[in-house]
Structure 1
Amino acid sequence: MFNRTRPFSHVLEQLRSVNLRPTRQRLALAKLLFEKPDRHITAETLHKEAAAEGARVSLATVYNTLHQFTGAGLLREIVVDTGCSYFDTNTTEHHHYYHESSGMLEDVPGDHLRVTGAPMVPDGTVIKRIDVVIRLADA
C-alpha cells in the first residue's frame, strides 16, 4: 500500500518552488522520482512503480505530470527514439550513453564531451541546449 504517512516536506517544497500545486498525484510521483538520486525513467516505468506503491494514477496523468515537471525545470526530457522518451532527474548540463540492447540510459558528465562549431540558427532564435545521445551496441 502507498505510504501516505511518510513526510513529503522536501518534495512539497520542490513543487511549491516552481509554482506547481502539490496535488496527491504530483506528490506521489515526485516522491518516486526524487527520493533516489539521478534517475532516467520512462512514463511507463514510473506508472508501474506508482501502481506497485498503491498510488492510483493513470498513465495519462503520469505523462502530464512528467511534462509539467519538465516545463517547470525539475526534469529533462531525453528523446532517444521516435516514441521513446526518458525523463532525467539530473537537470545539470550533461549528455548520455544509450545502450540500444538494454534500453538503458547512462549519464556522460558534462565536462567529458565538448560540442564546438554549432550551426547558425534561424533569425530570432537562440540555442537553448544541445543534447548529445551516444548510442552504444554490444561488442
Structure 2
Amino acid sequence: MTETADDMVMARATGWLAQGGLRPTRQRLALASLLVGDGADRHVTAESLYAASISGEEKVSLATVYNTLRAFCEAGIMQEVVVDGSKSYFDTRMDDHPHFYWEDDGRLTDAPADQLEITRLPDAPEGAEIARVDVVIRLRRS
C-alpha cells in the first residue's frame, strides 16, 4: 500500500504531538498538520495560524488556536518568541538559535547561529538560574 501525502502529513503531526505527550485531538491534529506536516520549521503568530486553518476541514476558533499553541509550548514541542513585549511568535524549531525580526513586514526568521557569539552573560541573581537566552535582531530595509 502506497502512503499518500495526506498520510505523511498526519503521521508527522501525530508523531510531533506524541513527542510532547499530547493526546491527538482533532483540533490539535489539524493545527499540528499546518505547523509540521511538511517537515519544515515554522514561525507563526496565533492569528496567522488561525488564518491558515480557516481553509481546513477542522474549524477552530482563534481562542482554541491560542490555547493550543500554549499547550504545545508547555509540552516542549514549540517555543514562544516574544517581540516588542506584545507580539508573540511560535517557533517549531526547538534548538537554541537567534532570530531576525523584519520590522517592515512583521516577519520572524531564523538567523545563522554559527555567526552569533555571546562571550559573557551577567550572573543570575541569587536563587535564580539562566534558563535560556533569546536573541532577536531587529532589521529594517535600507
Shift of 1:79: 0.6
Partner of 2:82: 79
Residue deviations 1:47-91 (CA, integer Å, cap 9, x gap): 011111232111111011111111111111111123211111111
Partner of 1:120: 123
* Distance in 2 between residues matched to 1:49 and 1:25, nearest whole Å: 13
Q: Please give the root-mean-square deviation of Cα atoms over the aligned residues, in Å.
A: 1.5
Match of 2:99 among 96, 100, 104: 96
TM score, norm. by length of structure 2: 0.88
* Distance in 1 between residues matched to 2:119 and 2:32, nearest whole Å: 35
Shift of 1:19: 1.4
TM score, norm. by length of structure 1: 0.90
Q: Which residue identity lines up with residue 51 of structure 2 in the other structure?
A: K
Residue deviations 1:15-37 (CA, integer Å, cap 9, x gap): 12321111110000000000230
Match of 2:67 among 64, 69, 76: 64
Residue deviations 1:66-118 (CA, integer Å, cap 9, x gap): 11111111111111123211111111111011110111111112221011221
Structure 1, unaligned runs of 5 or more: 1-5
Runs (4+) of structure 1 exceeding 4 A deviation are: none
Structure 2, unaligned runs of 5 or more: 1-5
Further displaced range: 26-35 or 70-79: 70-79
State how many pairs are aligned.
Answer: 135
